[in-house]
Amino acid sequence: MTVARTARRQPSQLGIAYDCRQQMSAMNLMRWLQPCVAAMVVLDPQYRGVLDKMQYGNEGKQRETSRAKLPTMSEYQIALLIEQAERVLKPGSHLLLWVDKFMLAEARHLALFAYAADLKRVELFHWNKLRPGMGQRGRCRSEYLVIAQKPPISAKVWRADRRIDDSWPEASDRSLHPHAKPHQLLTRLVRLLTKQGELVVDPCAGSYSTLEVCKLTRRKFLGCDLVTPL
């Protein structure tokens, strides 16, 4: 018996568009991408479910309501997104994964790579948010950026920006989003790790900081957020 194969529909036919803000689920966006098309995937999921549950380093305090309202993702869902990231990345290209102190201190970020054995963690950046945070012990003003590469693994591309510092102080514009990420750091990494015209994917785009960086650096952008675009 022959099975009729239907042609795979392009994102534009599905109402998915490049270089803009759109409301949809991260997994739907990632699943519709062809393999090996992206030069970079930026993944900044909402881990707050875990953080709220564990009250890590901040026992007894209420979290800010703006953060609590954002939809969260389980670690299993994030691991499935990373599996998709591995699939859609071109060989030699990079995943940028934001993790918080809880994920890192408990080494939970490693389990997020359970379905993406080919992605090798090659770099870790520390972001100093330059604003006082909360915390019963150390006051939390840091987040971390894990950078993983799809084989072939090589550090050659980093030679173009020898001055990039892995401990990065930068205030982000929190009027845009409670979790807006540092624009200058992202710009530097996009310039370093991708080329003009290449595709950068951000399926949990929040304030669309990645879209703004892509416009500035002339990269193609594909991204979405579950929440209505700003």
Ligand X SMILES: C[S@@+](CC[C@H](N)C(=O)[O-])C[C@H]1O[C@@H](n2cnc3c(N)ncnc32)[C@H](O)[C@@H]1O
**Residues at the interface with ligand X (CB under 6 A):** 25-26, 44-46, 70-71, 73, 177, 179-181, 203-207, 209, 224-227
Distances (CA, A) of 72 to 24, 47, 53, 121: 14, 6, 12, 24
Min dist CB 203 to ligand X, Å, is 6
Nearer to ligand X, 105 or 230 (CB): 230
Min dist CB 70 to ligand X, Å, is 5
What pairs with residue 97 in β-bridges?
43, 146
Nearer to ligand X, 177 or 219 (CB): 177
Q: What is the Cα–Cα distance from 146 to 227, expressed in whole angstroms?
A: 25
Task: Determine which helix (DSSP H) or strand (DSSP E) holds 80, and give its type and residue range.
Answer: helix 75-88
Q: What is the Cα–Cα distance from 110 to 49, expressed in whole angstroms?
A: 18
Min dist CB 225 to ligand X, Å, is 4
Nearer to ligand X, 46 or 58 (CB): 46
Q: How many residues appear in the chain?
A: 230
Nearer to ligand X, 86 or 225 (CB): 225
Q: What is the Cα–Cα distance from 102 to 56, expressed in whole angstroms?
A: 6
Nearer to ligand X, 57 or 206 (CB): 206
Query: Are 81 and 33 a contacting pair, CB within 8 Å?
Result: no
CA angle 131, 62, 47 (to 5 degrees): 70
Min dist CB 91 to ligand X, Å, is 25
Min dist CB 222 to ligand X, Å, is 13
- Cβ-proximal residue to ligand X, closest one: 206
Min dist CB 67 to ligand X, Å, is 9
Query: Are 180 and 207 a contacting pair, CB within 8 Å?
Result: yes
Smallest Cα–Cα separation from 90: which of 221, 194, 204?
A: 194
Nearer to ligand X, 129 or 177 (CB): 177
